[in-house]
Chains A and B, each alone.
Chain A
Amino acid sequence: MSVAGRPLDAAAAPVIRVEGLRKHYGDRVAVDGVSFSVREGEVLGILGPNGAGKTTTVEILEGLRTADGGSAEVAGVDVVRDPDAVKGRIGVQLQASSFFDQLSLAELLDLFAAIFGTTVEARALLRRVDLEDRAQSQVKQLSGGQQQRFAVAAALVNNPRILFLDEPTTGLDPQARRHMWELVRSFRDDGTTIVLTTHSMEEAELLCDRVAIMDAGRMVALDTPGALVEALLAKGFRRPQREREATLEDVFLDLCGHGLRDGDAPP
């Protein structure tokens, strides 16, 4: 039973299997013997401070970087040996990436579908991420939240069973962040396996079945959010001060509402 409140099939076969994965850049060790596995339909959150090796680990699994050692299998592909072969089988939303200017969202999805050797109903896919009314817009005309949702739509063109989301809510306002969470939940409910990196503990607690915490290239914890908290409490940890029942974010949402503000989006 996960904290997110849904039963996980413990017997489900792992679709991602990582064993002693290593990567260094020059003298600096970025990933130092990381091992974990992700079951089908599971949402795994990877947390950690900047430079902990999260993005490098995920990029190796996505076939974007080569590993120096260890083994990693994603969707049946050995990504250490053949990183390119995995790209057609997964969906990725990347940090620090963008899409061609001068092409509409619909044209971009058609182009990406062609690159994946398939076809796509661009409008239906855009409807899925609440961007159907922006089908003829260009990416640069979208708000930050809309751009992130479009990046997710582009990750879906090949109808992947495994989705990698790299900090999908970083830089978004609270409304847009909640909207993205709804989206991730809907993919989870469809049975998509999701690997998500984030800096937001709230996001990890809300969305993830299990959470992996990385630091200095190593995996320092991997369990359900509930079990991780229990383990900490069992060590005798107590918060110095009882938290108030509401946070500043609750104040913000109370004042501004939960509705999406996509700037130039029609109401």
Chain B
Amino acid sequence: MSLPRTTVSPRRALLVASLKMFYRNKHSIFWTLLLPVVILGVFALLNLGGGVSAQLAVVDDAHTATSQRIVSALQASSLVSVHQGALQDERAAFDSGDRDALLHIDRAEHLSLLLSGAHSHQVEAARVVVDEATRGASPDVAVSTVNNGRNQGYTDFLIPGIIALSVMQTGLFTVLYTFVHLRQRGILRRLKATPLRAGDFLAAQVGTRLILAAAQTLILVLIALLVFRVQIYGNVGWLLLVAVLGAAVFLALGFAISGSTGSVESAAPIANLVGLPMIVLSGVFFSRGGMPGWLHSLTGLLPLTYLVDGLRHISYDGWGLLDIRTDLLGMAVWLLISGALAVKLFRWELD
């Protein structure tokens, strides 16, 4: 009663086998799928973006003693940083999401406050500070709320960073660990004694992990949308595509490094040496905007920076693929270099 059997290509058999192995390994499921969610949860709860002061636009067209008193009261507050300018410019800044609120004092001393629709500390702070500074003004401040690009909190900013981090984890860390483990145990040595070609083996490994990276991204996007109510402005399909491209970059990098790494014990420090600086320097958790110019340019060349920026431009800024061509190009260059190194350095066993 055995089923009729047909031969399966080595590549496909290995791909199915490694997906099975992944599914049966509780550790790998934790590290690739659950840990990113936990990190996301922790950072979202801490809301580390909350310490940033509110960006308040103030347009004083009245130029009276009253209006100047209001402006200096606002400037004295530590909760907001005040931007003064022409109405046209400041409204444009508000609309593009660079301001949390805009207070306009017209020639007749009528006050109108425009608030971003974001449920952030900053918008709340701007409203309280303006309330305080305009107390007793007549007539009352006309308050309106408009959804601008500022309709985003720290979690919206964080999500693409976490996706990039998980993709790097899957590519660099788990590949390095798995591959070195397989070689140390002599599992690769056994495969070397079969007609299996190194290219087929690598293709199956890469295929498995690209599938995992896509699944990982999809899960994070779903949790972001359903649990954290995050707004994703760009196309989720492009987001997945960029994540998978990023995964390919880190896979190649992982294989290139593992080519000459003998033991699991030496793989961990190497992975950390490569990975940790990028986690800190590539703007995963915080914007790289505060870096000195030279450091900003230098860290802009890191593969994780290209991935974080690409994902963030799609998710946070709503950009299309053409808009992030610099990041795509950066990733492509890294992929070519590390891919070539991976193939060149591949070893079934170390002599």
The interface of chain A, by Cβ under 8 A from chain B, is 25, 62-64, 84, 87-88, 92, 94, 96-103, 107, 110-119, 121, 154
- Closest chain-A Cβ to B200's Cβ sits at a distance in Å of 9
Do A119 and B186 form a contact, CB below 8 Å, given A102-B25, A110-B13? no
Instruction: Knowing A94-B189, A96-B186, A97-B187 are in contact, say whether A116-B21 is a contact too (CB < 8 A).
Output: no
Stretch from B3-11, B81-89, B287-295, B313-321 contacting the other chain: B3-11
Q: Among A84, A92, A117, which residue has its beta carbon within 8 angstroms of that of B7?
A: A117
Question: Given A98, A103, A115, which contacts B20 in the complex, CB threshold below 8 Å?
Answer: A103
Contact partners of A117 in chain B: CB under 8 A: 7, 10, 195
Known contacts: A107-B17, A107-B20. The answer to whether A99 contacts B195 by CB under 8 A is: no
Q: Are B195 and A88 in contact, with the CB atoms below 8 A?
A: yes
**Contact among A62, A99, A121 with B2 in the assembled complex (CB-CB below 8 Å):** A121
Cα A249 to Cα B176 in complex, Å, equals 46
Instruction: Determine the distance from Cα of A194 to Cα of B273 in the docked complex, in whole angstroms.
Output: 48
Interface residues on B, range: 20 to 34
Is B322 part of the binding interface, using a Cβ–Cβ cutoff of 8 Å? no
Q: Pick 29 A–B contacts, CB within 8 A, sort by A.
A: A64-B189, A84-B195, A92-B193, A97-B186, A97-B189, A97-B190, A97-B193, A98-B185, A98-B187, A99-B187, A101-B21, A102-B20, A102-B21, A102-B25, A103-B21, A107-B17, A110-B13, A112-B194, A114-B8, A114-B13, A114-B14, A115-B10, A115-B191, A115-B194, A115-B195, A117-B7, A117-B195, A118-B7, A119-B5
Assess whether A102 is in contact with B189, with CB atoms less than 8 Å apart. Answer: no
* Contact of B187 (CB < 8 Å), options: A87, A100, A115, A118: A100
Contacts of A112 in B (CB 8 A): 194
- List A contacts of B2 (CB < 8 A): 121
Residues of B within 8 A of A62 (CB): 193
Residues of A with C-beta under 8 A to B185: 98
- Cα A92 to Cα B195 in complex, Å, equals 12
Which residue of A64, A96, A115, A154 contacts B196 across the interface (Cβ within 8 Å)?
Answer: A115
Q: How far is the CA of A25 from the CA of B351 in the complex (A)?
A: 10
Indicate if the CB atoms of A94 and B13 lie closer than 8 Å.
no
Instruction: State the CA gap A251–B5 with chains docked (Å).
Output: 49
Q: Which residues of A contact B182 (CB under 8 A)?
A: 100
Complex: A98 Cα to B9 Cα, angstroms: 22
* Of B10, B189, B191, the contact of A114 (CB 8 Å cutoff): B10
A117 to B21, CA, bound (A): 21
Complex CA gap A114/B14 in Å reads: 9
In the complex, which residues 169-212 of chain B have their Cβ closer than 8 Å to any Cβ of chain A?
A: 182, 185-187, 189-196
The reply on B344 being an interface residue by CB < 8 A is no
Q: Which residues of A contact B10 (CB under 8 A)?
A: 114-115, 117
Find chain A residues with CB under 8 A from B25 CB: 101-102
Report the minimal beta-carbon distance from B236 to chain A, rounded to whole angstroms.
32
Residues in A with CB closer than 8 Å to B7 are 113-114, 117-119
Compute how far the CA of A86 lies from the CA of B236 in the bound complex, rounded to whole angstroms. 49
Bound complex: CA A97 to CA B186 (Å): 4
Listed residue (A88, A99, A100) with the most chain B CB atoms within 10 angstroms of its CB? A100
Closest to B196 in A: A115
- Of the candidates A84, A97, A115, A116, the one having the most CB atoms from chain B within 10 angstroms of its own CB is A115
**B135 interface residue per 8 A CB criterion:** no
- Sorted nearest first, the 9 A-B pairs with minimum C-beta distance are A114-B13, A97-B186, A102-B21, A119-B5, A97-B190, A88-B195, A102-B24, A114-B8, A97-B189
Q: Who on chain B is nearest to A154 by CB?
A: B190
On whether A111 and B186 interact (CB within 8 A), knowing A62-B193, A117-B195, the answer reads no
Contact between B190 and A94 (Cβ–Cβ < 8 Å)? yes
Q: Which of A62, A63, A97, A107 neighbours the largest number of chain B CB atoms within 10 Å of its CB?
A: A97
Which of B9, B193, B196 lies in contact with A94, CB distance below 8 A? B193
Chain B contacts for A87, CB-based, 8 A = 193-195
**Measured between alpha carbons, how far is A101 from B18 in the docked complex, in Å?**
10
CB atoms of B189 and A111 under 8 A apart: no
Residues of A within 8 A of B21 (CB): 100-103
A100 touching B17 in the complex, CB below 8 Å, given contacts A114-B7, A114-B9, A115-B10: yes
Contact flag A111-B195 (CB < 8 Å), given A97-B187, A119-B6, A121-B2: no
B14 in contact with A99 (CB, 8 Å): no
Report the Cα distance A64→B192, complex, angstroms: 7
Residues of the B chain whose Cβ atoms lie less than 8 Å from the Cβ of A92: 193
Taking CB atoms, residues of chain A closer than 8 Å to B9 are: 114
CB distance from B197 to the nearest CB of A (A): 8
The CA-CA distance from A107 to B20 in the complex, in Å, is 10
Residues of chain A contacted by B189 (CB below 8 angstroms): 64, 94, 96-97
